[in-house]
Amino acid sequence: MAFSVAVAGASGYAGGELLRLLAEHPEFEIRTVTGHSSAGRPLIESQPHLRSLAGLTLQETTPEVLDGHDIVFFALPHGASGELTAQLRNVRLAVDCGADHRLRDAADWEAFYGGEHHEAWSYGVPELLVRAADGGVTRQREALVGADRIAAPGCNASTVALSLAPGIAAGVIEPGDLVSVLAVGPSGAGKAAKTHLLGAELMGTANPYAVGGTHRHIPEIIQSLRAAGAAAAPTLSFTPVLVPMSRGILATTTARIVPGTPAARVREAWESAYADEPFVHVLPEGVFPRTADTIGANTCLMGLAIDEAAGRVVIVAALDNLAKGTAGAAIQSANIALGLPETTGLSVNGVAP
């Protein structure tokens, strides 16, 4: 028997990707979709690529409309879900793709988002290494089993956290002096019309933004690295660059190798961390990922190089910001929470070229 599902914020990019994946999911049944300015209109007007859902109509985004579904996915602007989710009485599982329930520290929320801080929910990156109180290493997956509230990750945040956690947990890289530069597509910025996101502004050019430590995903990454057992406070220089592709994140992240660590041991930290993961793949030596290989898939591909002259390891990670970066992570986490096989309804194969 399928779980009944509602998607709040179904007219945007994250909502569209949730629906695309949910439509193929054998255990979930999309029952309700809601919008804001497009409420009352057919979904197909906002999401003309979702032909199989042409019969759905967008409803208002209210607690009354959403309550009573087995699962509700939220794909709302940051700050919009916190109050709304608090009013749900009868929802077995709520998954928030916005930022409202990601940060544990109210000061971080205040500094990077502002407004009221909401409690952190179980963080939806199952593959993240977590250092347990007893010193052992577990995975974030364990915190998701049986969860009823899940915070899907920021797309850039999960890409960088997955890139660094193995080295942090294994103690082979230093938590200070981390640097990450990301090539990102503009779909992550959403569908609201803004001049700097116009096609004419983005095609044929690379445009940096949030330079110098102001991006909202930074505290989220630091939080994950702390959970992975960073011995000291991590410091991260983080710069995203918009490039002319609709989807995709390619994060190039480097960290100083702890002096004296053999190259093989560095590589081993990543390979062993993800050896059994269905959706995070470490590529063979000398091979690096392209975002194209992950489009539409729930896959994060990772390549590793050790630069002995620079004393740093370089981790290049690629994923689809809307799929594994947002909607795929949400569904994968929901599968775990509900006791379904984790890979249900999710593909590892990208659409390329």
Of 133 and 264, the one with the shorter C-beta distance to a second copy is 264
- The residue within the footprint of a second copy, chosen from 35, 124, 289, 325 (CB under 8 A), is 289
Residue 205 Cβ vs a second copy, minimum distance, rounded to whole Å: 3
Task: Report the half-sphere exposure of 186 (CA within 13 A, side-chain side).
Answer: 22
Of 122 and 254, the one with the shorter C-beta distance to a second copy is 254
Interacting span for a second copy (CB under 8 A) from 19-27, 62-70, 87-95, 96-104: 19-27
Per CB under 8 A, 332 contacts a second copy: no
* Integer Cα distance of 120 and 149 in angstroms: 9
Closest CA to 144 of 277, 337, 339: 337
Residue 11 Cβ vs a second copy, minimum distance, rounded to whole Å: 10
Q: Give the count of beta carbons closer than 10 Å to the beta carbon of residue 101.
A: 24
**Active-site residue (options: 150, 151, 155, 313):** 155
Q: b/e per residue, 322-351, with b = 16+ CB within 10 A?
A: bbbbbbbbbbbbbbbbbebebebbbbeebe
Of 114 and 212, the one with the shorter C-beta distance to a second copy is 212
Of 72 and 304, the one with the shorter C-beta distance to a second copy is 304
Residue 190 Cβ vs a second copy, minimum distance, rounded to whole Å: 9
- The residue within the footprint of a second copy, chosen from 27, 79, 148, 237 (CB under 8 A), is 237
* Integer Cα distance of 169 and 228 in angstroms: 5
Of 120 and 306, the one with the shorter C-beta distance to a second copy is 306
Residue 161 Cβ vs a second copy, minimum distance, rounded to whole Å: 16
Interacting span for a second copy (CB under 8 A) from 57-65, 97-105, 122-130, 345-353: 345-353
- The residue within the footprint of a second copy, chosen from 65, 120, 137, 243 (CB under 8 A), is 243
Residues comprising the chain, all counted: 353
* Integer Cα distance of 269 and 165 in angstroms: 9
Region 292-311 residues binding a second copy, contact defined as CB under 8 A: 292-297, 299, 301, 303, 305-311
Residue 146 Cβ vs a second copy, minimum distance, rounded to whole Å: 29
Report strand pairing: 249-256 vs 178-184. antiparallel
Tokens matching residue 314: 């370089």
Which residues are CB-neighbours of 34 under 8 A, at least 6 positions away? 6, 7, 8, 9, 10, 58, 59, 60, 61, 62, 65, 66
Active site residue 300: no
Interacting span for a second copy (CB under 8 A) from 71-79, 141-149, 161-169, 240-248: 240-248
Q: Give the count of beta carbons closer than 10 Å to the beta carbon of residue 250.
A: 24
Region 40-59 residues binding a second copy, contact defined as CB under 8 A: 47-53
The helix/strand/coil state of 242 is strand
Region 168-227 residues binding a second copy, contact defined as CB under 8 A: 177, 179, 181, 183, 185-187, 189, 191-195, 197-209, 211-213
Q: How many residues bind a second copy (CB under 8 A)?
A: 90
- The residue within the footprint of a second copy, chosen from 114, 259, 260, 353 (CB under 8 A), is 353
Residue 280 Cβ vs a second copy, minimum distance, rounded to whole Å: 11
Of 294 and 333, the one with the shorter C-beta distance to a second copy is 294
* Integer Cα distance of 58 and 50 in angstroms: 14
Long-range contacts of 47-54 (CB under 8 A, 24+ apart): 47/10, 47/11, 47/15, 47/16, 47/19, 49/16, 49/20, 50/16, 50/19, 50/20, 50/23, 52/23, 53/19, 53/23
Q: Which of the residues are catalytic?
A: 155
